[in-house]
Structure 1
Amino acid sequence: MTDVADVSTVRADTPGSRATARLLATAATAVGAPDLVLAVSRNGVRTVHTGGGSEPGPVPRERLAYELGSASKPYAGLLLARLVAQGRVRYEDRAADLLAPGLPVHPAVRRITLRHLLTHTSGLPGLPADFYPQAVPRWSTDPYGGYPADRVVRAFLRARPRHRPGTRWHYSNFAVSVLGHTLAAATGTPWEVLLHQRVLTPLGLTATRVRPGPEGADAVGHRRDGTPVPALDTGGFAAAGAVRATPLDLLSFLEAHLGGLEHRDPALSAALADVTRPVLRRGLRHGHTHTLTWFHHPSPYGPVLFHAGATLGQQAFLGFRPGSGLAVAATATRRVHRADTFVATAYGLLTQTP
């Protein structure tokens, strides 16, 4: 797909930033989407490339809010880590005890901790079993909106985990959604308010939210055939996939993980350090490493931490390289498909850039 809008925004006109702009412009040719943003921060110097197959609108692409899908999970993880740093909860607190103290549940459910929920080791399936009958008829339009928060909680309390908590890794939107509801119950504060109070506001992320913004403020997703997709309604699964943010705010979020908050907010600084530490290894020869919230891979230039996400019509990639000052944020308004190159392109910028 040929770009009809191709703009590079560089905050410092240096040889390094100009080289990064050329790198992003080249990378963008590998991705076809109506709207595309590739954004890089090197030690706080930002380079943003925008393009895509559609005509740009009145709001610059880098200032539109994009649906993050599963790339919302690092925000939920940082929220948990900050509440732990502040002594409000502990990683080993049992979710059922916080959600429904004294209510009879399956013994395996009783053993599920907040850490299990966040690290996908709870034994819960990816989604509740009764999610699919109501979702399948509207799979391409609104699969989550008809499954509200109270239903997610009820499904958790009557669950029968497939594996003993803490023994196996299985990616679960269900589990992270339960984490969000548990933190809300533990603090007496709705998850959305809690996220704003403890993460978004302290980090200055004023263009990040969990609901659609005013008309014209959000990017519009598209199916593979180019058909526009309605804004995502995550229903009761908000903690697992509801965050929307501009690429510039995504860079701010990633830059916070690269340091600089030690004297501003000790609890938040401690939480940011906590979520970057490897806590789990799995797979053949324990080849896959995870922190509390990030996938953790080696690269020629040191470890990289990243998370990707997709919704019905949008994609996002977030990643950074601790110790190098490099962060990469990418967004696209096109549904993922089998031959998709978006994640590979963004991942390459993170892992192959000196």
Structure 2
Amino acid sequence: MPGKTKRSGDLATALAALAGLSYLPPVAAAPLTFASPPAEIAKAVLDDEPGTVAVGIWRNQQGRFALQRNPVGSVGEVVEDDSAHAQPLFEIGSISKVFTGLLLAQAVERGDLSLDDTLGKLLEAKATLKPETAAITLRQLVTHSACLPREPQDFPGYGTPNPFSRHDRWKIYAGLSGMTLEHAPPCGAAYSNLGMGLVGQLLSDHYAKPWDVLVRENITGPLGMRDTMQYLGRQASRLATGYQHEALQGPWDFDALSGAGALRSTAPDLLLLARALMAGRAGPLGPAAERALTPLGYFRGDEIGYAILIRGPAGHRTYHHDGLTGGYRTLLAFAPDTQEAVAILASNSHASPVKVLTGITASRYPIAPATQMAPAPAALAEYGGVYQADKDTSFTFVAQDGKLYRRSTGTGFRALSPGGPDTFVDADAGARYVFSREAGEIVRVDYYLGDSGFGGFSSFSGVAGLRTKEAAPPVAVVSLDTQLDYAGHYRARRIIRTDLDLDVRAENGQLGVRAGNWFRRPVFPVAGKPDRFAYENGRSQLQFERDAAGHVAGVVLYENGVIRLRRLP
């Protein structure tokens, strides 16, 4: 959901990661899976961030729950309970898309709508559309292949409070009428809140009922999900306080784009939904449950059904979706073959529930052990370079110290291990990278989740990156000992503006910096300049300063000027 304003950039990066743009979510110190205790997951997900996290796991036909509340500046105790009572409410963000997809699956199952119905047909007399826009189908909307932008063209940006509240149906339809698509549909997968919100509004129009009423009548009511709603009403006091790091965040409200992210829910309620979907056509949702989970297309390294993302081969699939709003972060994942599910809801947008999805992927689709020694340094350098996956995302590979390091847009570097001819793996993340040659030269890399062809994914579910002419950086990382030299808190006192605080931390072998309450961003060593690091854009840089004894005592930020920060004790 990236916005256009500078202040929204960090939230944009996090939202892009949820849409699959990062390709490599955070990795926990110990893998977190369906088998992990809920309390362990809660601690890892919230870490030292303020707020509340609720975790629910369904396994062995039994539900288990844990709840942790962290005050600002400290870590609270985890309460583990086998009951589902007295749970706080959370915004679930884009997990709402799963509900919209299920509503569409029900409509198609009843014969009320067809996946091949077009906007031209559905919006006849409501909007005058250009031919390419009129040709967009419900199938393309629900699989993010409709060529629509991520947000409406007049979206205010994520630095604006309550950014989705201003778009009613007529404003959306007027925007569609004036829209010129860059390409005629279908397009490759490109996450669109506008597209999924539009599906919800089209369903509302078709049945002449508000989207939230459709959800209540067709999903939450029949399943007994009493704590899932769009409008809080008398339940407002149950909403966990939202944070962006330590900054309080107000709730997000939706109008015409409700189907993209408007719901509030609890961990027990989301487990009820997962169980109903895992039950398939024999369960309380009937044939629509089976339909909703049927693959319709591809979304980066995954397949996609009715908005829900699908990982793994037939008979061993994992279904999942994330959610993120200004002050909340969530995950729902489930595996019908083992009848396991996890729901994670956190009231801090800096929480990391996606660590659990990474662990589930690595455990359910393990990478085969390396079968060869690492290539010689000269051979390793062949793979170094920048590979473009799409207009928003590239992979960068760097050969350094006998290892191949990799990162994608918006993420830090991680070391890979050899996994076969022209193949490297990240076993902890369940990721595999296979390079291709033409006339002996490396020209392409394919990224897969799981061990492709060996109980994991089929070859068509990978993501291809084509090699560009851009050279690889000379270095990817500095040693962990050196990273720890820089780790700490830095502050610049300012008279007119608020003080600037930088929190520098070494995580997963990568140096990351958080400014104020914004999201932590990776920084990369600048070759030939000791103690110098650059952000991804290359223009913003940090120069760490040392005292006479050689200890890091401060840092200079070069970004729209020069700001010197001293290291705090």
Q: Structure 1 length as normaliser, TM-score? A: 0.82
Quote the residue 1:205 is aligned against. 225
Max Rg structure: 2
Q: Is the 8 A contact 2:281 2:287 kept in 1?
A: no
Quote the residue 2:175 is aligned against. 155
Quote the residue 2:98 is aligned against. 74
Secondary structure at 2:327 match in 1: coil
Letter in 2 for 1:223: Q
Quote the residue 2:294 is aligned against. 277
Secondary structure at 1:39 match in 2: strand
Quote the residue 2:266 is aligned against. 246
Structure 1: 4+ residue segments shifted above 3 A: 19-22, 101-104, 349-354
State the Cα distance separating 1:257 from its structure 2 match.
0.9
Letter in 2 for 1:85: E
Distance 1:130 1:85 in 2: 35
Note the alpha carbon deviations across 1:146-174, whole angstroms, 9 max, x for none.
Answer: 22232122212332222222232110000
What is the correspondence of 1:96-245 to structure 2 with a 5 Å cutoff?
Answer: 96-101=120-125, 103-131=127-155, 135-136=156-157, 139-214=159-234, 215-225=236-246, 227-245=247-265
State the Cα distance separating 1:212 from its structure 2 match.
2.5
Residue 228 to residue 140, structure 1, CA distance change in 2 (3 Å): same
Secondary structure at 1:147 match in 2: coil
Q: Is the 8 A contact 1:277 1:291 kept in 2?
A: yes
What is the correspondence of 1:337-352 to structure 2 with a 5 Å cutoff?
Answer: 341-348=352-359, 352=363
Letter in 1 for 2:288: A
Distance 2:128 2:92 in 1: 36
Quote the residue 1:53 is aligned against. 70
Letter in 1 for 2:139: R
Choose from 292, 305, 317 the match for 1:291. Answer: 305
Distance 1:350 1:103 in 2: 43
Note the alpha carbon deviations across 1:40-75, whole angstroms, 9 max, x for none.
Answer: 00143101111131369xxx9962221011111000
Note the alpha carbon deviations across 1:261-317, whole angstroms, 9 max, x for none.
Answer: 6275xxx3111101112221255xxx4322222212239x93211000100001110
Quote the residue 2:110 is aligned against. 86
State the Cα distance separating 1:342 from its structure 2 match.
2.6
What's the RMSD between the two structures over aligned residues? Answer: 2.6
State the Cα distance separating 1:217 from its structure 2 match.
2.0
Secondary structure at 2:44 match in 1: coil
Alignment gaps of 5+ in structure 1: 1-18
Quote the residue 2:530 is aligned against. none
Q: Is the 8 A contact 2:105 2:291 kept in 1?
A: yes
State the Cα distance separating 1:346 from its structure 2 match.
4.9
Distance 2:109 2:145 in 1: 22
Residue 330 to residue 47, structure 1, CA distance change in 2 (3 Å): same
Letter in 2 for 1:317: L
Residue 28 to residue 189, structure 1, CA distance change in 2 (3 Å): closer
Distance 1:263 1:24 in 2: 26
Quote the residue 2:524 is aligned against. none
Note the alpha carbon deviations across 1:176-235, whole angstroms, 9 max, x for none.
Answer: 11111111112222222122112221222111111224232222211212x322121123
Letter in 1 for 2:333: G
Distance 1:204 1:352 in 2: 32
Identity of aligned residues (%): 26
Quote the residue 1:306 is aligned against. 320
Note the alpha carbon deviations across 1:93-124, whole angstroms, 9 max, x for none.
Answer: 11232223485311011111111111111110
Secondary structure at 1:328 match in 2: strand
Q: Is the 8 A contact 2:127 2:176 kept in 1?
A: no
Distance 1:238 1:347 in 2: 28
Distance 1:245 1:223 in 2: 19
Q: Which has the higher strand share?
A: 2
State the Cα distance separating 1:28 from its structure 2 match.
2.7
Distance 2:39 2:269 in 1: 21
2:57 is the counterpart of 1:40: yes
Letter in 2 for 1:217: R
Structure showing greater relative contact order (alpha-carbon pairs closer than 8 Å, 6 or more residues apart) = 1
Distance 1:119 1:22 in 2: 31
Aligned residue-pair number: 318
Quote the residue 2:450 is aligned against. none
Choose from 271, 278, 281 the match for 1:258. Answer: 278
State the Cα distance separating 1:350 from its structure 2 match.
7.0
Q: Is the 8 A contact 2:135 2:185 kept in 1?
A: yes
Letter in 1 for 2:245: R
Residue 97 to residue 158, structure 1, CA distance change in 2 (3 Å): farther
Residue 352 to residue 89, structure 1, CA distance change in 2 (3 Å): same
Residue 312 to residue 103, structure 1, CA distance change in 2 (3 Å): closer
Alignment gaps of 5+ in structure 2: 1-32, 78-83, 366-569
Distance 1:71 1:100 in 2: 30
Residue 229 to residue 157, structure 1, CA distance change in 2 (3 Å): same
Residue 288 to residue 30, structure 1, CA distance change in 2 (3 Å): same
Quote the residue 2:345 is aligned against. 331
Distance 1:259 1:90 in 2: 24
What is the correspondence of 1:1-20 to structure 2 with a 5 Å cutoff?
Answer: none
